[in-house]
Structure 1
Amino acid sequence: MDLRLHSSLTRVLAIEDTSQVGHARRIAQKLAEQLGFDATDSGRVALVVTEVASNILKHASNGELHLRALPGPVPGVEVIAIDRGQGFDLDDCMADGFSTRGTQGIGLGAMLRQAQVFEVHSDNRGTVLLTRFYPRQATVKDVRLGVSQHSLHDDPACGDAWEVAITGQQLSIVVIDGLGHGPEAESAAKAGALAFGREPFADPTLLLEEIHHEMRGTRGGAVAIAQFDGAQDRLRFIGIGNIGATLIGEDKPRGLASHPGIVGLQYRKVPPVGYPQSAGQLLIMYSDGLQSRWNLRDYPGLMYRHPAIIAAVLHRDFCRGRDDVTVLVMALETLDD
């Protein structure tokens, strides 16, 4: 597998009344068409968006749809439905004909048949439902990566940036938080992302120095780099500033420590820290727009869900609402072809 994935803001569509169902359908269908989906494939997206938006109103009164273009050799569409309702029993609701509201009960079964990726997490805090779509004729391996990236007050400029590079058994990730928010923070983050993209698999210390050099003249920011080598079963991490990072497996979570400083202005050089036996674990990285006091074990079963669902749940329940926010979740066991 050889991939380069870049920042893309999550578009949030409020679902609070029936008029917004049609609006969401049109927005999602237009996104699919812009990505090259034909009429049949964009129609699949429109059908599922109509179903999930209608289900939010039926079962939770209100919620949100998160739309994102999935970058890659074959572009895709990600639709995540999020609410704070009472949840439901997934095994019951997957069966055609089951309904809690007296309807025909074909919604979840239809979604499973239309989307290439379908997964749900539901508990008494609410429901998060993931669907991913690609053109039917394309052969696509789903990357178990989840990203929820939002600018403060839906500003077109976002001061957070992320990049993911995969080649063979090697993975390299950067998350950057430009100081503050708005256009100047965005310029700082983009400068760092540009430097990362030139040589993402360089030694992390040298790569951080290159990012530092590129971010000079900007307001600077926080930067964290994680590199995973599947062949050696080892993760290396280096961070400056307030990017949070955690490795989560069956045992106690391991926090990945960052150091004080501002990349682009001044920081003390530090070596990367190695974390052996990381295969099969989740890597979660997030900017300080997300609270740090969360624990996946408070959500039974969540750590086994798709990383996109995990990112959406953390954003739903722990977003501070005072800054740009990025939550990136990567499963480290799926890097082979």
Structure 2
Amino acid sequence: MNIGSSLTQVLVIEDSSQIGHARRTAQQLAEKNGFDSTDAGRVALVATELASNILKHASHGELHLRVLPRTNGAGIEMLAVDRAQGFDLQACLTDGFSTGGTQGIGLGAVSRQTEVFDVYADSRGAVLLARLYPRQDKAPDRRIGISQHSLRNDPACGDVWHLAFDGPRTSVLVIDGLGHGEEAERAARAGEKAFALSPFASPILALEDMHHAMTGTRGGAVAVAQFDGDALKFVGIGNIGACVIAADKSRGLASHPGIVGGQYRKAQAFDYAQVSGQLLIMYSDGLQSRWNLQDYPGLVHRHPAVIAAILHRDFCRGRDDVTVLVIALEAAHA
């Protein structure tokens, strides 16, 4: 299964009138992706509660939407993101606790409407994750998280990511086309197209194919990570950041200097053994590199989508496209 790059859809929530817009947008997205009226109604209900919760305890924030492609059909991901100083999680999880302008069903009831629900909150703010799938879709949730945003909401994004799954194997690509805008996107998309033809080929060969495909474009930074259920193989050219994180340690993954599609010396792939159960985090240089998950107690155990959203919220540079990709490296995928 291949999943191609797409931007995170961001809805600003700072006024009660925007709750209805969030509800309609999420419901229409669900209907467009195969949800029946009952399941699309669940999406609408959850979107309403998440948006209302932002206004109640934070006064303003964002609702992030993403389609989750599946082997058959798709799911809908919603993340409520804010920078509030105080968040009474236990109260909000209580049924009947009104978040203002809603039936007061509480986030506890919302969690029962969703297939995946997770929260991380501290003095810097809160991120609430809800993932919904059609009720007949019994496949397990993939523990991946992606937060991707273009500079100043430009329709063109010079960052591109790609995921491929084959049983226990996972192959991951992140490209940052030089600069931003249409020409950067053209360069990155050329690389992605070449990678998608054979995502489980040797990463060195994949890099060479992308180099040829990106020649004549601006070129860009490229990183490929392949996980076989136990070990990880990684190759990178340019400034794509990457690390493998466990609860008690973090290892940076080494990249080489150069520009794919331009000029780089012969690349070398590095092997990292026994990484199952850890997190792989890859990110473009639109994200600052000075973050440390140890500064967020317990965050390493949260859903990768929550981690990606928090890293984007707190460390986005704000002057380039930005991509954050977080994957729980697990022994097998359904």
1:122 positional shift: 0.8
Paired with 2:102 and 2:140, the residues of 1 have a C-alpha distance of 35
Paired with 1:166 and 1:297, the residues of 2 have a C-alpha distance of 29
The alignment's TM-score, normalised by the length of structure 2, stands at 0.96
3-state SS, counterpart of residue 77 of structure 2: strand
Q: Is the 8 A contact 1:4 1:163 kept in 2?
A: yes
Q: Match of 2:316? A: 319
3-state SS, counterpart of residue 188 of structure 1: helix
Q: Match of 1:144? A: 143
Percent identity over the alignment? 68
Paired with 1:34 and 1:98, the residues of 2 have a C-alpha distance of 32
3-state SS, counterpart of residue 139 of structure 2: coil
Establish whether residue 56 from structure 1 lines up as the match of residue 50 from structure 2: no
Which 10-residue stretch deviates more, 33-42 or 84-93?
Answer: 84-93
Q: Deviations over 1:58-108 (max 9, x none)?
A: 101100000111122221111000011124353454232456989975320
Question: Counterpart of 1:145 in structure 2: which amino acid?
Answer: I
3-state SS, counterpart of residue 262 of structure 1: coil
3-state SS, counterpart of residue 24 of structure 2: helix
3-state SS, counterpart of residue 189 of structure 2: helix
Q: Match of 2:64? A: 66
Paired with 1:130 and 1:57, the residues of 2 have a C-alpha distance of 16
1:4 positional shift: 1.3
Which 10-residue stretch deviates more, 70-79 or 254-263?
Answer: 70-79
Q: 1:176 to 1:50 in 2, by over 3 A?
A: same
Question: Counterpart of 1:57 in structure 2: which amino acid?
Answer: L
Establish whether residue 123 from structure 1 lines up as the match of residue 126 from structure 2: no
3-state SS, counterpart of residue 290 of structure 2: coil
Q: 1:28 to 1:99 in 2, by over 3 A?
A: closer
Query: Which of 41, 44, 54 is the matching residue for 2:42?
Result: 44
1:92-241 correspondence to structure 2 within 5 Å: 92-98=91-97, 105-230=104-229, 233-241=230-238
3-state SS, counterpart of residue 309 of structure 2: helix
Query: Which of 244, 249, 252 is the matching residue for 2:246?
Result: 249
3-state SS, counterpart of residue 212 of structure 2: helix
The alignment's TM-score, normalised by the length of structure 1, stands at 0.95
User: Unaligned 5+ residue runs, structure 2?
Assistant: none
1:140 positional shift: 2.3
Q: Alignment length, in residue pairs?
A: 333
Paired with 1:174 and 1:157, the residues of 2 have a C-alpha distance of 18
Tell me how large the CA RMSD over aligned residues is.
Answer: 1.6
User: Unaligned 5+ residue runs, structure 1?
Assistant: none
Query: Which of 1, 17, 21 is the matching residue for 1:19?
Result: 17
Q: Match of 1:329? A: 326
